[in-house]
Amino acid sequence: MDEPALKALHEGFEAAASFDAAQAQAGAAMLAEVEGSGIAAADAEAMLMDGVDGALAVTGQAFPGWALSFDGHASTQKNTIWRCTLKETRGQDDDQIVGIGNARSMRLALMAAVAHIQMMRKAGYR
């Protein structure tokens, strides 16, 4: 996936109202392209469709040891936004690559953060 496609994917995840099969397929293709992940797209898609736990598990396979955090407020309102941050270390904020996603569900925010990381890698950050 090239940088413009990843940007469109990031924006799509952040704008979506809910996580669906098309997003699982796109997210799986993206995760399968993470260098060294060894993840098959079909396996990633099944895990993404399995809910938040599956999405966390497949992201952990793609980015082992990375620090992951979510921030949001539990609410019955449909406009609740979750923020996901994915970075190499848990300490100082001096990582060159930090994935950030803001979306209406945890899975969408997580996939937006992964897309952000992949965009930064395509731009030459390591």
pLDDT surpassing 70 at residue 10: yes
Convert the pLDDT of each residue in 46-98 to its tens digit.
999 999 999 999 999 999 999 999 999 877 777 789 999 999 877 666 667 88
pLDDT of residue 92: 65
pLDDT, the chain, mean: 91
pLDDT of residue 77: 75
Q: CB under 8 Å, gap of 24 or more: what pairs does 50-57 form? A: 51/107, 52/106, 52/107, 52/110, 55/27, 55/106, 55/107, 55/110, 55/111, 56/110
pLDDT surpassing 80 at residue 126: no
pLDDT of residue 46: 98
pLDDT of residue 91: 67
